[in-house]
Chains A and B, each alone.
Chain A
Amino acid sequence: MSISERTITAPSMALGQRGILSRFGPSNRAVFPWVLMAPTLIILFAIGIYPFLYSLYIASHNVILSKPYLPRIFVGLYQYQALIQDPEFWHALRKTLIFTVQAVFIEFWLGLGLALLFQRQLTGIAFMRVFILIPMILPPLVAALIWRYMFYPGAGLMTYYVGGITRALGFGEIPFLSDPTVAFQTLVFVDVWEWTPFMFLMLSAGLASIPRQPYEAAEIDGAGSWRVFWTITMPLLRPAILIAVIIRTMDAFRTYELIVIMTRGGPGNATTTLNVFLTKTGLEFFDASKAAALSLIMMMIIIVMSFVFIRVFRSKTEVAE
């Protein structure tokens, strides 16, 4: 590049930069917020919206990954219709809902009980608080593997000791993972073990944020602890409960590692939840379209459940206020 070229180019670049700044910079109030948000929006589109749209596309076609030679035919809503007519889907949905309701219900009340207990200034409470959180810190896969070996037939810690006790009492061994009903409840038990600490953590934070004044007023009025709990603690704790229950419901609804590692959906189909059914459809039978339709249905169910929770809690909170 010659000197003359440089002298001509530099001012024109400065002019160009100024032009860009005036078009996309802070002075342009309509565009500038979008410029700031652009990186986030691009990432959001790439990892959230695009896969969602692609799922819609796949679910409306006939894509089987192990048969790439088949033409991709548009089938409209056929995949959803096929799922709704599939008894396996309804079985898995029922199992998922029962699992979610049971697990979240127990975790909520246990977590609340622990949160109330740990509000008191007892000796060693700080140590116990850390101890209680350990199950939640473990990756779900590791937790599931630990429990699988705890329930290992004949040799696991639980089967050995609990089996020993029940044998001594004349009840025989407990088929923790072999009886359909017991296996299902075993999974609920492990989920409760792992996720009660989460409820405890969320509700502890909620309790800590409740002001002291209502309690002092209640004490002056001579209200009993039961009445204080139902009329002060619970209503003021509602926002924390709402968040904790929604997050846990969504998580429990999607539970996967625990079930696959411990029972793989068995015995029979006793613990086949929607996520197990989804994985089987998508990654074992490679029916991508049916799996995409199923995942979209699952997403809709979760959205509807969250919406219902929010409406119910909000209306109750408004009444309380």
Chain B
Amino acid sequence: MNMVKLSAVTAAGLSLMLLALPAHAQTEAQKALAGKTVHFLAPSMPQFAALAKFFPEFEEKYGIKVVVDEVPFENYRQKSLVEMQQGTGTYDFFAVDVMWLAEYAAAGFLEPLMPYVKNADLTDADYDIDDFLPRVISGTGVFNDTLYTLPIGAGPVGTTFRADIAEKAGFKLPERFSPEFTTKYMYDAAKKVNNPESNMIGFANIPGRWFWGVTYLPYLFAYQTPETKGDEYVDKDWKITINNERTVASIDYFLSLKEFMPADSANWGIGEATAVYQAGNAFGTWNYQDFVKGFFEDSETQAKVAGKNVHLHTPAGPDGVIDPWFGAWSLGVSKDSKNKEAAWTFMQWVTSKDVQARATQYGAGPSRHSTYKSETLAKYQPWWPGVYDFMLKETNPDERVRVPEWAEISDVMGEEGNRVWIGEIDSKTAAANMEKRMTDAMRKGGYYIPGRSDLPKQQWRDLTYYDRLPSEWN
């Protein structure tokens, strides 16, 4: 009996000692940062909510306080750009969307990170930057061979379907990345179960004009041939190439999904389509991998659909081409921060192997090899390991061309595409209008100035550029 008591007390004592010990011993330089406060500007999105759960742990460990200002996603770019422009250093680090990196880095708003990564006084010994997937870290954070941001999750867009409804209708949905899942398959499957009278629509699409730059692109890419890959928007001389039969076919396919939609859906965005799916009134819808847990698989908030879904990639087109979509958020230190070292200390901690793996239980996505292979991810988000190979070899960080003109290009696609959806113009006119207006945007950006030699490199034509080991960047 006494032995049992003694063992129990010893075990408890050892556990307390282990808890009291920090996971990694802090360096003197890190200890000196205690008492500082760092300010973080982030959009209100699930992946940042997941990170926020770790702030108290960080504050306790390092004595550095993290103050986060959350801004609605639609206002985030404007707010972050204005803050960076003013150069006041109000925020020490920012959340950066993959689409904005080139703009921010070229403007000198962000601090190069490799000197911090290599600084043993500020970076934990087991940080292991080469544990990040090369294409994820370089696609997210590298501009002109220099690392500016660290990823906190990157993934493809896809589609989500109700497996139980397919089963009732007498068919089984294919596996992710199966060649069987084509645009034709998706249309036929949606048609089979589409029954608006019983409140079940075949596919909750997202035709709102502000979303085409995200939700239509999977079809634009799917309708390419292996020969036209890389020339989806521009050719090697930056001439717009969108006015062609493949674009017309992809718009027509997108339009064919209107058959499953209610009459009043021309302005539907991600919110509307997702809400219909969450209510159990749609067979399929669009998704972004980072949103899967929060939108579809959280058993507490999405009781009607959680556990009943199959998450697939977007469908392959007639020639078997799939969309290499790449979406990611990352963290970058502001050039004007007065607490760069403290901001870095937080960033390296929150993107460490340990925290990244644990964050997946709250819905954060992986960007490290170790996170993809972690038991936590397999347990809480089992749909992620299936995209590991895709994120290693197939994804294209420049699927949306990362030039400052993209916002305008995306807007033009949305407006012209949505006009087709509401029947104002046909798909051929839309493709022609897109080409004209996108060309105007590029001309205004100076892309056609004869003899100009400083145009951006089209890295998507040779994706091996993004496959370097992370530690090899400047």
Distance between A61 CB and nearest chain B CB, rounded to angstroms: 15
Rounded to whole angstroms, the CA-CA distance of A172 and B262 in the bound complex is 11
In-complex Cβ contact of B418 among A67, A267, A280, A284 (8 A): A267
Within 8 A of A (CB), among B360-419: 404, 407-408, 411, 415, 418-419
Of all chain A residues, the one with the shortest Cβ separation from B424 is: A268
Interface status of A264 (Cβ within 8 A of chain B): yes
Binds A, one of B102-110, B159-167, B231-239, B300-308: B102-110
- Cβ of B419 and Cβ of A153 under 8 Å apart? no
Within 8 A of B (CB), among A158-209: 159, 172-180, 183
Other CB < 8 Å A-B pairs besides A180-B422, A285-B411, 10 of them?
A66-B404, A153-B262, A154-B262, A154-B276, A172-B263, A175-B264, A177-B266, A178-B264, A178-B265, A269-B419
Given A67-B404, A154-B276, A269-B419, check contact A264 B210 (CB 8 Å): yes
Distance between A81 CB and nearest chain B CB, rounded to angstroms: 13
Rounded to whole angstroms, the CA-CA distance of A220 and B273 in the bound complex is 67
> What per-residue 1/0 map shows which CB atoms of A199-236 lie under 8 Å from chain B?
00000000000000000000000000000000000000
Interface status of B127 (Cβ within 8 A of chain A): no
Within 8 A of A (CB), among B227-249: none
Interface status of B293 (Cβ within 8 A of chain A): no
Distance between B70 CB and nearest chain A CB, rounded to angstroms: 18
- Cβ of B422 and Cβ of A173 under 8 Å apart? no
Interface status of B421 (Cβ within 8 A of chain A): yes
Contacts of A183 in B (CB 8 A): 267
Interface status of B85 (Cβ within 8 A of chain A): yes
- Cβ of A67 and Cβ of B107 under 8 Å apart? yes
Distance between A62 CB and nearest chain B CB, rounded to angstroms: 10
Interface status of A266 (Cβ within 8 A of chain B): yes
Of all chain A residues, the one with the shortest Cβ separation from B272 is: A153
Rounded to whole angstroms, the CA-CA distance of A267 and B209 in the bound complex is 7
Interface status of A275 (Cβ within 8 A of chain B): no
Of all chain A residues, the one with the shortest Cβ separation from B84 is: A68
> What per-residue 1/0 map shows which CB atoms of B46-80 lie under 8 Å from chain A?
00000000000000000000000000000001100
Contacts of B32 in A (CB 8 A): none
> What per-residue 1/0 map shows which CB atoms of B254-270 lie under 8 Å from chain A?
00000000111111100
For chain A, which range describes its interface: under 10, 10 to 19, 20 to 34, or 35 or more residues?
20 to 34
- Cβ of B103 and Cβ of A66 under 8 Å apart? yes
In-complex Cβ contact of A177 among B77, B81, B267 (8 A): B267
Contacts of B108 in A (CB 8 A): 68-69
Contacts of A172 in B (CB 8 A): 263
Within 8 A of B (CB), among A103-160: 152-154, 159
- Cβ of A266 and Cβ of B264 under 8 Å apart? no
- Cβ of A267 and Cβ of B81 under 8 Å apart? no
Contacts of A270 in B (CB 8 A): 422
Interface status of B134 (Cβ within 8 A of chain A): no
Closest 7 CB pairs of A and B: A178-B266, A268-B419, A267-B266, A153-B264, A266-B209, A175-B264, A267-B422
Within 8 A of A (CB), among B200-216: 208-210
Given A159-B264, A286-B81, check contact A269 B107 (CB 8 Å): no
Rounded to whole angstroms, the CA-CA distance of A269 and B263 in the bound complex is 18
- Cβ of A284 and Cβ of B263 under 8 Å apart? no
Interface status of A36 (Cβ within 8 A of chain B): no
Contacts of A69 in B (CB 8 A): 106-108
Given A65-B81, A180-B424, check contact A263 B415 (CB 8 Å): no
Distance between A118 CB and nearest chain B CB, rounded to angstroms: 36
Rounded to whole angstroms, the CA-CA distance of A70 and B49 in the bound complex is 36
- Cβ of B418 and Cβ of A153 under 8 Å apart? no
Within 8 A of A (CB), among B256-296: 262-268, 272, 276
In-complex Cβ contact of B407 among A178, A263, A284 (8 A): A284
Rounded to whole angstroms, the CA-CA distance of A68 and B335 in the bound complex is 14
Rounded to whole angstroms, the CA-CA distance of A256 and B234 in the bound complex is 34
Of all chain B residues, the one with the shortest Cβ separation from A284 is: B407
Interface status of A53 (Cβ within 8 A of chain B): no
> What per-residue 1/0 map shows which CB atoms of A250-273 lie under 8 Å from chain B?
000000000000011111111000
Interface status of A41 (Cβ within 8 A of chain B): no
Within 8 A of B (CB), among A37-63: none
Interface status of A304 (Cβ within 8 A of chain B): no
Rounded to whole angstroms, the CA-CA distance of A175 and B82 in the bound complex is 38
